[in-house]
A and B are shown apart, each in its own frame.
Chain A
Amino acid sequence: MDTVIKVENLTKRFGDFTAVDNISFEVKRGEIFGFLGANGAGKTTAMRMLCGLSIPTEGKGTVAGYDIFRQPELVKKSIGYMSQKFSLYEDLKVWENLELFGGIYGMSDKDIKIKTDELMVRLNFEEERDHLVKSLPLGFKQKLAFSVSIFHHPQVVFLDEPTGGVDPITRRRFWEMIYDATASGITVFVTTHYMDEAEYCDRVSIMVDGRIEALDSPSNLKKTYIAKNMDEVFQQLARKSTRKAD
């Protein structure tokens, strides 16, 4: 398996505050990589660097084969991104959102049309095709937001707390979509506060105070920390934090 994300000694400082402190890891193609940490541990800052949105202070990193220092625009083209806030255009119709995002990522009109048709069938969305996004139930929006984020078939998709606030069945259906995406070769980099979801990842890293304190498969982490589940692993590690108010 080849490597889609490779990071070495990556550091980001804001003034005299070190938000991300010398982190190193690799993510393989087709992997589901869980990126966990308490609020303020540095997850968002690290993710912004990987997405080409923030230039690191020190270290090295490549995403989808592009250098995050020198080629941030090429990085952005090769990835997908979805956050809890969905980032769909509420006043556009379902198909218009797909056309817009497909266009931004440089897909051809023909390709957009074929993939839109195919997606509407697969999601059972044919009736909603012409509906405004704001009229859709939350679960629909979430499925659509994820589909938009991988519409251009990126090498890797970054999911920032994608399941916050949705009901338990929708949350599980969402993970089934994630599995389908990895089956088609897309690598998934995901943050979550639901520790049961950490179990669905192939490997999990846990950040504490800007550093990666642990990185392994969920089953190995549970062995190492003699824990029943990932919540116990997380509680043990995150309690080591000494980081203060900000």
Chain B
Amino acid sequence: MNISDNNPQTAIHCESVSKKYGKILALKNISFDVKQGEIFGIIGPDGAGKTTLFRILTTLILADSGIASVDGFDVVADYKEIRNRVGYMPGRFSLYQDLTVEENLEFFATVFNTTIDENYELIKDIYIQIEPFKKRRAGKLSGGMKQKLALSCALIHKPSVLFLDEPTTGVDPVSRKEFWGMLQKLREQGITILVSTPYMDEASLCDRIALIQNGQFLRIDTPENIVGQFADILWAAKSDNMHKLLEDLRNDEQVKSSFAFGNSIHVTVENGQLTVDSLKKYLIERGHNNIEIQSIEPTIEDCFMELSNTQI
């Protein structure tokens, strides 16, 4: 069944989806659309509801209320059709540890009525890196290699939509960059990708993102627009005593928030409340030397913190 008002260009449609586990509301009224060929990121901490959303969309669990479709197929009525069309890489490594690299890939190809040869082009760039170890058992691979094998297995039936649940969690920054490079290439081949991550710096690699916390979307937009909508003034502050600087900033009532950000402290101030000069003066009075205060562009992490702050 095709949902009548469904745009053919919409790969994922989700409307007012909610899910409870006992008393805990895991998802509250989630609505969003993912266009065909988009990389859409669900960004938020552990326990925010990311995996629950993925399981509903991949037809592994049922929502309590709301409707959702993938490729125009309803997640309840047409679940079999969806299972044939999507690729899913769960957060936890779930390939067969006792099968070799090659056997795992063959197994997934067979389950989906295809062969490795038929879709080899699609996985070639990724699989070629683990092919030298194709006789090795999956359980004996390193983290990075497991990740590449899991992605190959999720792709071997040429899915139209790829669901990646925290593919880069616990992965070092170099391997994370490499992984995102692979995703960009898959997008060029027309595959829609829904990907979740707790790493805020990965947001800029997505076409659009949803920031999620406590089962609710804080905002859905392009990374650029989310940054553009940051409501406060943002400064990066430094002095020769960073620990005391954080304390003194927190004690200034005109400062809305202050948190460590790498080698500086990000300070938010409501519009028109405080000037750089008056803050500098306040800090000099408190004995700080080599004070630097600079107006800066917010990162997605600043935006997430601002949005989640206002909701608490």
Interface residues of A (CB under 8 A from B): 37-40, 84, 137-138, 161, 164-170, 172, 175-176, 179, 193, 195-196, 199-200, 218-219, 229-231, 234-235, 238-239, 241, 245-246
Contact = CB atoms under 8 A, between A and B. Distances in A.
Interface size class of B (residues with CB under 8 A): 35 or more
A245 B145 contact: yes
A166 B45 contact: yes
Nearest to A196: B262
B173 A195 contact: yes
Contacts of A238: 172-174
Contact of B46 (A166, A193, A195, A196): A166
Contact of A239 (B44, B130, B174, B261): B174
A245 B175 CA distance: 13
Contact of A39 (B136, B171, B213, B262): B171
A137 B140 CA distance: 34
A78 to B, nearest CB: 26
B140 A199 contact: no
B260 A39 contact: no
Interface in B172-231: 172-175, 177, 198, 200, 213
A38 B141 CA distance: 15
B296 interface: no
Contacts of A241: 174
Contacts of A235: 173-174, 177
Contacts of A175: 260
Given A238-B173, A238-B174, A165 B141 contact: no
A241 B175 CA distance: 12
Nearest to A173: B259
Interface string B61-92: 00000000000000000000000000000000
Interface stretch (B110-118, B282-290, B304-312): B304-312
Interface of B: 44-48, 130, 132-133, 136, 140-145, 169-175, 177, 198, 200, 213, 243, 246, 259-263, 301, 304-305, 308-309
Nearest to B147: A39
B46 A138 contact: yes
Q: Closest 7 interchain pairs by CB? A: A167-B45, A165-B46, A196-B262, A38-B172, A199-B262, A238-B174, A199-B263
Contacts of A179: 243
A193 B199 CA distance: 10
Nearest to A43: B172
A105 B246 CA distance: 34
Given A169-B259, A169-B305, A37 B213 contact: no
Residue from B45, B259, B305 having most chain A Cβ neighbours under 10 A: B45
B260 A172 contact: yes
Nearest to A84: B170
B47 A40 contact: no
Contacts of B213: 167
A164 B170 contact: yes
A30 B177 CA distance: 34
Nearest to A169: B305
Nearest to B140: A246
Contact of B172 (A37, A84, A167): A37
A168 B301 contact: yes
Nearest to A236: B174
A38 B175 contact: yes
Nearest to A197: B262
A231 B173 contact: yes
